[in-house]
């Protein structure tokens, strides 16, 4: 049988006919005319090669074939309904694991409040914070399904990702209290001391270095670390300097900060997921929590 030729609406009419064993009542139940319902019955008879409904004395009765069809037909229609319009499971009853790809900034700010909110609203949702390997890897993981949500800088792209802007961040220069450059901070003072660079991939150069080269200048990168949490200890114990997102700096103690001595573009941080997950209740709930936290 060629399923492409099967009209699903025909099975809906048949279900009503088998329940009512009466063409007029089935028509009223479905909001159809009696001739349309009778025509549907004829098509069903042809499809199943059986009379399905036969006339008796003043009534109609189901044939053995029709009786055998009733249960599997209802199961089939219920399955289609659940597939197309699945029932909403209460958040408190959801049992699901969501994988979030993000760098340590902003992970350090979100994991505590996220856990507290989920414990209250959806305790059955488990969270896995995945290792950070860069925005391109995060995007690929959303596409191939190995990650569910990602927080990063995501430029517009021709793919199936949905992205929402969480915040716009800017940078500040940080150093310890009493640093020699604190008294008269300027470009020369900034370049006179080694810098700490945060890179999950171990990069030793950034666009800032290209900008310095264009000005005939260079800086020394004295330390490269994989996450921001290592920076505070290094700054307190040395004369090194770091360029940090403002929200990271605000969480550190005992440091002084200055605006960068040359233009340093900020960045927009995005929350992204694949569009095929737009109706995933658990994912959308966690996404909404994250959006509220940042905004």
Q: Are residues 187 and 255 in the same domain?
A: yes
For residue 179, give both structure tokens.
């640093």
Taking residues 81-105, report their average pLDDT.
85
- Residue 1: what pLDDT? 52
Taking residues 5-29, report their average pLDDT.
87
Percent of the chain scoring above 90 in pLDDT: 58
Percent of the chain scoring above 70 in pLDDT: 97
- Residue 109: what pLDDT? 79
Taking residues 200-209, report their average pLDDT.
88
- Residue 173: what pLDDT? 97
- Backbone Cα Rg of the chain: 32
Q: Are residues 155 and 286 in the same domain?
A: yes
Q: Are residues 104 and 117 in the same domain?
A: yes
Q: Are residues 258 and 175 in the same domain?
A: yes
At 288, which CATH number? Answer: 3.40.190.10
Taking residues 258-273, report their average pLDDT.
93
End-to-end CA distance of the chain: 55
Q: Are residues 200 and 225 in the same domain?
A: yes
pTM of the predicted structure, to 2 decimals: 0.67
Residue 194: give the domain boundaries.
171-265
Q: Are residues 164 and 272 in the same domain?
A: yes
At 44, which CATH number? Answer: 1.10.10.10
Has residue 284 got a pLDDT over 90? yes
Tokens 């505590």 sit on residue = 112
Taking residues 12-28, report their average pLDDT.
90
Q: Are residues 105 and 141 in the same domain?
A: yes
- Residues 275 and 266: their CA atoms lie apart, in Å, by 27
Considering its fold, how many domains does the chain have in total?
3
- Residue 230: what pLDDT? 92
- Residue 276: what pLDDT? 84
CB 174 within 8 A of CB 249: yes
Has residue 235 got a pLDDT over 60? yes
- Residue 279: what pLDDT? 83
Residues paired with 223 in a beta bridge: 196
Q: SS3 string of the chain?
A: CCHHHCCHHHHHHHHHHHHHCCHHHHHHHHCCCHHHHHHHHHHHHHHHCCCCEEECCCCEEECHHHHHHHHHHHHHHHHHHHHHCCCCCCHHHCCEEEEEEECHHHHHHHHHHHHHHHHHHCCCEEEEEECCCCHHHHHHHHHHCCCCEEEECCCCCCCCEEEEEEEEECEEEEEECCCHHHCCCCHHHHHCCCEEEECCCCCCCCHHHHHHHHCCCCCCEEEEECCHHHHHHHHHCCCCEEEEEHHHHHCCCCEEEECCCCCCCCEEEEEEEEHHHCCCHHHHHHHHHHHHHHC
Q: Are residues 19 and 75 in the same domain?
A: yes
Kindly indicate the confidence band of residue 158, based on its pLDDT and cuts at 50, 70 and 90.
Answer: low
Q: Are residues 273 and 162 in the same domain?
A: yes
Q: 54-77: per-residue pLDDT in tens?
A: 987 778 889 999 999 988 888 888
């Amino acid at each position: 049988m060629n399923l492409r030729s099967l009209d699903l609406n025909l099975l809906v009419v048949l279900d009503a006919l088998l329940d009512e064993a009466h063409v007029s009542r089935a028509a009223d139940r479905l909001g159809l005319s009696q001739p349309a319902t009778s025509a549907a019955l004829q098509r069903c008879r042809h499809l199943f090669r059986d009379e399905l409904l036969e006339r008796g004395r003043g009534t109609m009765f189901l044939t053995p074939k029709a009786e055998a069809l009733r249960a599997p037909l209802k199961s089939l229609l219920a399955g289609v309904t659940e597939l197309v319009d699945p029932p909403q499971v209460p958040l408190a009853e959801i049992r699901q694991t969501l994988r979030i790809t993000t760098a340590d900034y902003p992970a350090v700010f979100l994991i505590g409040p996220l856990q507290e909110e989920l414990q209250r609203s959806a305790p059955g949702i488990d969270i896995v914070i995945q290792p950070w390997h860069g925005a391109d890897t995060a995007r690929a993981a959303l596409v191939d399904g190995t990650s569910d949500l990602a927080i990063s800088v995501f430029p517009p792209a021709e793919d199936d990702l949905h992205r929402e802007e969480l915040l716009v961040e800017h940078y500040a220069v940080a150093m310890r209290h009493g640093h020699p450059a604190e008294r008269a901070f300027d470009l020369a003072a900034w370049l006179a001391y080694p810098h700490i660079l945060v890179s999950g991939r171990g990069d030793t150069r950034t666009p800032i270095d290209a900008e310095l080269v264009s000005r005939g200048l260079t800086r020394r990168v004295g330390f490269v670390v994989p996450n921001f949490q290592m920076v505070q200890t290094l700054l307190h114990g040395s004369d090194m300097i770091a360029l940090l997102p403002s929200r990271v700096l605000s969480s550190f103690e005992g440091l002084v900060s200055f605006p960068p001595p040359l233009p340093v573009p900020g960045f927009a941080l995005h929350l992204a997921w694949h569009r095929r997950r737009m109706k995933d209740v658990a994912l959308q709930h966690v996404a909404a929590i994250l959006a509220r936290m940042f905004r």
